[in-house]
Structure 1
Amino acid sequence: MYGHFFVSFSQTHNFLHFKRYYYKITICVSVDEQEMEYS
């Protein structure tokens, strides 16, 4: 049971880390698109 809890906790941690990484990519992409529109 403890091992299952540890696995689910690490999965949640990885998911949150991936979400933060994904938001960074999305922001960078949207900024690039805005700069391309203005230039």
Structure 2
Amino acid sequence: MTQKSIALRLNPESSCLGVFIEKIQAIAFDSRMKQGT
């Protein structure tokens, strides 16, 4: 979490991409949990 925050501070232009990646990771994690159950 902290590393991502620092990266976003160093590269403000990549903030949108970071949020996009986090959303994809969240969706992938959610799908894994659903498959597990």
Measured against the shorter chain, the TM-score band is 0.5 to 0.7
TM-score of the aligned structures, taking structure 2 as reference length: 0.64
Unaligned stretches of 5+ in structure 2? 1-10
Unaligned stretches of 5+ in structure 1? 1-7, 35-39
Q: Which has the higher contact order (CA 8 A, sep 6+)?
A: 2
Structure 1 runs (4+) deviating above 6 angstroms are: none
TM-score of the aligned structures, taking structure 1 as reference length: 0.61
